[in-house]
């Protein structure tokens, strides 16, 4: 009987309402395999019904955030059925990030390349370390961006900038990423996890409506004004029914800080 314990592809840690998920294949710069995507999707789906989780941080072990699809395992798969691979592993992971009605912060601690860049884009907010970089690596190996990059990147930084990054495949340093709106904050390398978790902890103390805000923003990406006004109507109706709305108004009237429960 083997006593060897497989290294989990995603590490999980929970503290003060914040779940930290660490992509954990540092020897290959956290290159993505099916096990990693499935573990990520499962952890995020478990977080849906876990009241102890009110915000999530995704980061990478070692010096990289994520180098994208593991090209060695993809190459050794023989005839790679890429459509099936994307549908069965990438799509569920991207949906798990977007569908979770709790904020997800990408703490980009180093290079985010290929589908690793895509994972960062699917997060609600991105905090980067000074030495982080972003690389639409796909074109360098004759591919198109996938795993949601062609959806989120033009919406985030505009179509012309997205085309440039995707077609040239040049690396974007953290400072430039901040200038073009690709990341929300850049912090010192050694402070990244602390800062990302502090931001997540702030969000974790916020009201239930933060989840509804995420939902509204998801839907606004495709809606026209009238459709989005209806989304606001629907979600505001839900928000007014929450305990946190009652608490927020009571706290205002009583001139005290609100204590939100996330319900
Ligand atoms: C890696 C990887 C990696 C395996 C570093 N795989 N080992 C594609 C296909 C099919 C279906 C679905 O979707 C996709 C989507 C994609 O993501 S395509 C894009 C895939 N990613 C890339 O093309 C990026 C490849 N990596 C790089 O260009 C560089 O490694 C970067 C720029 C990320 C970092 O460069 P360095 O800092 O110079 O590190 P390194 O290249 O020396 O890498 C360190 C080790 O990690 C090295 O292994 P070794 O045994 O030599 O120490 C690399 O082979 C390994 N590694 N990325 N994606």
Tokens of 101: 């009605």
Environment class of 185 (CB within 10 Å of its CB; exposed 0-12, middle 13-18, buried 19+): middle
Q: Give the pLDDT mean for 161-178.
A: 98
Element (H, E) at 104: strand 104-108
pLDDT bracket for residue 2 (50, 70, 90): very low
Q: What is the pLDDT of residues 55-89, one digit of tens each?
A: 999 999 999 999 999 999 877 766 679 999 999 99
Q: What is the pLDDT of residues 202-256, one digit of tens each?
A: 999 999 999 999 999 999 999 999 999 999 999 999 999 999 999 999 999 999 9
Report d(CA 42, CA 7) in Å as an integer.
17
DSSP state of 27: G
Domain with CATH 3.90.226.10 in the chain: 3-204
Q: What is the pLDDT of residues 239-251, one digit of tens each?
A: 999 999 999 999 9
CA–centroid distance for 198 within its chain: 16
pLDDT bracket for residue 5 (50, 70, 90): low
pLDDT score recorded for residue 68 = 98
Does residue 138's CB lie within 6 angstroms of at least one atom of ligand 1? Answer: yes
Q: Coil, helix or strand for 215?
A: helix
CA–centroid distance for 21 within its chain: 10
Does residue 85's CB lie within 6 angstroms of at least one atom of ligand 1? Answer: yes
Q: Tell me the best of 26, 61, 71 to mutate to test the pocket of ligand 1, counting ligand atoms within 8 Å of each CB and taking the most.
A: 71
Check if the beta carbon of residue 31 is closer than 8 Å to that of residue 68. yes
First CA to last CA distance, the chain: 47
Rg (CA), the chain: 19
Does residue 67's CB lie within 6 angstroms of at least one atom of ligand 1? Answer: yes
Alpha carbon nearest to ligand 1 atom 55, residue: 28
Helix 115-122 / helix 91-99 crossing angle, nearest 10 deg: 20
Task: List Cβ neighbours of 248 (8 Å cut-off, separation of 6 or more).
Answer: 207, 258, 260
The ligand 1 atom at the shortest distance from the C-alpha of residue 140 is 23
pLDDT score recorded for residue 78 = 65
Does residue 146's CB lie within 6 angstroms of at least one atom of ligand 1? Answer: yes
Helix ranges (H only) for the chain are: 34-48, 71-76, 82-85, 91-99, 115-122, 149-157, 159-168, 174-179, 192-204, 209-220, 225-240, 243-253
Q: What is the pLDDT of residues 10-63, one digit of tens each?
A: 999 999 999 999 999 999 999 999 999 999 999 999 999 999 999 999 999 999
Assign a CATH topology to domain 3-204: 2-enoyl-CoA Hydratase; Chain A, domain 1 (3.90.226)
Phi, psi dihedral angles at 172 (to 5 degrees): -110, 120
Whether 4 has a pLDDT exceeding 90, the answer reads no
Phi-psi region of 39 (alpha: psi -120 to 50; beta: other; left: phi over 0): alpha
Count the neighbouring beta carbons within 10 Å of the beta carbon of residue 250.
Answer: 12
pTM over 0.95: yes
């Amino acid at each position: 009987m083997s006593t060897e314990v497989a290294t989990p592809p995603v590490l999980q840690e929970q503290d003060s309402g914040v779940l930290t998920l660490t992509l954990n294949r540092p020897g290959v710069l956290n290159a993505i395999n099916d096990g990693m995507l499935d573990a990520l999707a499962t952890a995020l789906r478990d977080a849906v019904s876990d009241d102890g989780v009110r915000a999530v941080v995704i980061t990478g072990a070692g010096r990289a955030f994520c180098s994208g699809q593991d090209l060695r395992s993809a190459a050794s798969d023989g005839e790679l059925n890429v459509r099936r691979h994307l549908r069965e592993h990438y799509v569920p992971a991207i949906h798990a990030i977007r569908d979770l009605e709790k904020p997800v912060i990408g703490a980009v601690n180093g290079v985010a390349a290929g589908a690793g860049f895509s994972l960062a884009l699917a997060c609600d907010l991105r905090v980067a370390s000074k030495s982080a970089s972003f690389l639409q690596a796909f074109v360098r190996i004759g591919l198109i961006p996938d795993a949601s990059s062609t959806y989120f990147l033009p919406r985030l930084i505009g179509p012309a900038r997205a085309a440039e990054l995707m077609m040239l495949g040049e690396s974007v340093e953290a400072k430039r990423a901040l200038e073009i709106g690709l990341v929300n904050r850049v912090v010192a390398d050694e402070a990244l996890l602390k800062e990302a978790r502090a931001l997540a902890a702030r969000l974790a103390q916020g009201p239930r409506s933060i989840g509804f805000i995420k939902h509204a923003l998801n839907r606004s990406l495709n809606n026209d004004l009238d459709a989005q006004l209806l989304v606001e109507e629907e979600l505001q109706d839900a928000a007014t029914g929450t305990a946190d709305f009652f608490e927020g108004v009571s706290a205002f009237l009583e001139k005290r800080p609100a204590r939100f429960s996330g319900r």
